[in-house]
A and B are shown apart, each in its own frame.
Chain A
Amino acid sequence: MIHIDPASELGTLLRERFGAEDFPKDAAPLVSPERHVELARVLAEEHGYRVFLYVAASHWPVVAPNPKKEGDTGDPEHYEIAYALRRPGPNTDVAHWRVRVDVGHSVPSLVPLFAGADWQEREQYDLVGVVFEGHPDLRRLMMPEDWEGHPLRRDYAIDTACPPWR
């Protein structure tokens, strides 16, 4: 399970400089989309997390409010984008964080900081549909250019028909 200890060096940085409040036991902490490019820069330049590991976006459909639970407002349709950077060498460590945006909003791109984010963000745009703002060349990576829809969204049926030449 991914867990960042709030008392660790990374946890302290996230708490004090980037306003992360919740450190769940089974997931990475959430950081606001406005601050996350700065977080990546600080991690790379000041803390040695210089290897770009991955971007993994996931799509979460609308959750209707549960009438049995009082005060439950449900959850709007949103994307959750998980990032990871690695510090190489004998004291290796991985910095995980997550960004949450509602559908229709974009996430600032990490390409100006990490060349490796280029294809990773293109892949997530292609398969999940997240738009990365400031990406120099946001095209589909895996699917054909004229493909309709984003296959890894939860509302994309696995047996969606496609013409035979694909």
Chain B
Amino acid sequence: MSVELTAQRRADPYLDLEDYDPEADLMVLNVGPQHPSTHGVFRMKLYLDGEVIVKAVPYVGYLHRGVEKLCEKLTYTQVTPIVDKNDYVSPMMNEQAINMAFEDLLGVEVPRRARWLRTVLAELQRIASHLLWLGTFTLDLGGAIGGGSTLFLYCFRERELVLDIFEELTGCRFHYNTHTIGGNRHDITPGWAKMVHEAISVIEARTHEYEAMVTRNGIYADRTRGIGVIDAGLAMELGLTGPALRGSGVDHDLRRDAPYHAYDEVEVRVQTEAAGDCMARALVRIREMRESVRIVREMVDGVPEGPICGHRPIKLATQTKIKAGQAYACLESPRGELGTFVIAGGGSGTACPYRLKIRPPSLHALAAVPYIMPGHMVSDAVAILGSLDPILGEADR
């Protein structure tokens, strides 16, 4: 590993290759858009000097579906199932983020039972999302963990348990459409809490095993320590949030610092790591999984009695009229701050948002690529990309 090059923490993304070395025989390596380690359809052009990356030029937009434009033609209640598909690894978070913004615009109070339920669902979703990240990340590192696919399959096995819980509650394993403006649509069934307890005890025991498999593995450590270092200043400037920001030593978590749902009624222990490399981001996520298990265990039995929705069911979507205004609502998704900025137009046609902007944490994480990748080897590019945990459905929208 080129130590002196990794010490250069912030590469110039606009580097003119003529300035680098006019004599150098640079090779251009195109990675993606169809490539297993890009976690979707992400493409980057790597300029290589030998095996060292000199410049990385990322391209996004291959999965651009025009969600924001589509939302301008949909009524507020019709938006939820559309945004489900944005971050397809944690659909619950998308629904919650969008409905929180609409609730803020409407001034709708969410009942306490729904807020508790949302918290439990959010934490379960965080576990599922981090499990999928851990599995694919170790797959990216290839031979590091028992041939690569071992931990990948283990993680998918545990993730199934969480999906079963969601299926029991909402009838869907994915794209739940269970949140609505003012509350939830599906109430918990009698055996649900028991099911959750059984699943999280299995997951908790296994996360200890996986952490040992990951952190006590020499190859894993070699491939992640000191790789892809993002210092706190660059992380904040880029707008990195979530585990990527906490892995750079910034003690910030919206669940604790700006509590939404029922996070003000529960203690959230924020996990941070100072190193800022791939290992730090991995450790933060693994510990967050256990933290989520603890929060779920504390909350799932105590879901308070009461209604799960703050108003009567809306029969006609056009009945939801929102007066003019602008709102921003955000929550801590597994990837960071997932925000929704919405402009509601006044006058006629107010049943649809005038402009809706989703702030995807993955897009900001991918923007870090040209700053941190140069100076590393080609094989490290895969580790860096995996450690940022990008979801292209959310980045491209």
Contacts and interface: CB of A to CB of B under 8 A. Distances in A.
Nearest to A49: B236
A52 B238 contact: yes
B241 A26 contact: no
B63 to A, nearest CB: 9
A116 B237 contact: yes
B54 interface: no
Interface in A75-102: 82, 84, 86, 88-92, 94, 96
Interface stretch (A8-16, A31-39, A135-143): A135-143
Interface stretch (B109-117, B141-149, B296-304, B325-333): B325-333
Contacts of B64: 142-143
A115 B251 CA distance: 21
Contacts of B250: 88-89
At the interface, is chain B mostly helix, strand, loop or mixed?
A: mixed
A114 B326 CA distance: 24
B234 A119 contact: no
Given A2-B328, A84-B328, A92-B252, A152 B341 contact: no
Interface stretch (B33-41, B68-76, B192-200, B208-216): B68-76
A27 interface: yes
A90 B257 CA distance: 5
B367 A119 contact: yes
Contact of B239 (A51, A92, A127, A143): A51
A163 B396 CA distance: 20
Contact of A53 (B343, B359, B396): B359
Given A52-B237, A53-B337, A152-B69, A92 B357 contact: no
B223 interface: no
B66 interface: yes
A42 interface: no
Given A90-B256, A96-B328, A115-B371, A158 B239 contact: no
B187 interface: no
Nearest to B106: A1
A82 B339 CA distance: 14
A10 to B, nearest CB: 14
Nearest to A60: B354
B363 interface: yes
A1 B324 CA distance: 10
Contact of B363 (A90, A113, A119): A119
A140 B60 CA distance: 10
B245 interface: yes
A135 to B, nearest CB: 11
Contacts of A94: 328
Given A142-B60, A142-B396, A158-B73, A136 B238 contact: no
Contact of B341 (A52, A54, A116, A137): A54
Interface string A146-166: 000001100010100000000
Contact of A151 (B66, B236, B257, B325): B66
A54 B359 contact: yes
Given A90-B256, A143-B64, A56 B357 contact: yes
A76 B326 CA distance: 21
B325 A115 contact: no
B239 A114 contact: yes
A26 B242 CA distance: 28
B364 interface: yes
A86 B105 CA distance: 21
Contacts of A82: 326, 341
A119 B252 CA distance: 23
Nearest to B73: A158
A102 B196 CA distance: 55
A80 B64 CA distance: 23
A106 interface: no
Given A52-B238, A90-B257, A116 B251 contact: no
Interface of B: 13-14, 60-61, 64, 66, 68-70, 72-73, 104-105, 233-234, 236-241, 245, 250-252, 254, 256-258, 324-328, 337, 339, 341, 343, 354-355, 357, 359, 363-364, 366-367, 371, 396-397
Given A53-B339, A54-B357, A119-B366, 18 more contacts: A1-B104, A1-B326, A1-B327, A2-B326, A2-B328, A50-B233, A50-B236, A51-B239, A52-B364, A84-B341, A88-B252, A89-B250, A92-B254, A115-B371, A119-B363, A127-B68, A141-B60, A158-B69
19 contacts: A1-B325, A1-B326, A2-B327, A50-B233, A50-B236, A52-B237, A53-B359, A54-B339, A54-B341, A56-B355, A56-B357, A86-B337, A113-B237, A115-B367, A115-B371, A119-B367, A137-B14, A141-B61, A152-B68
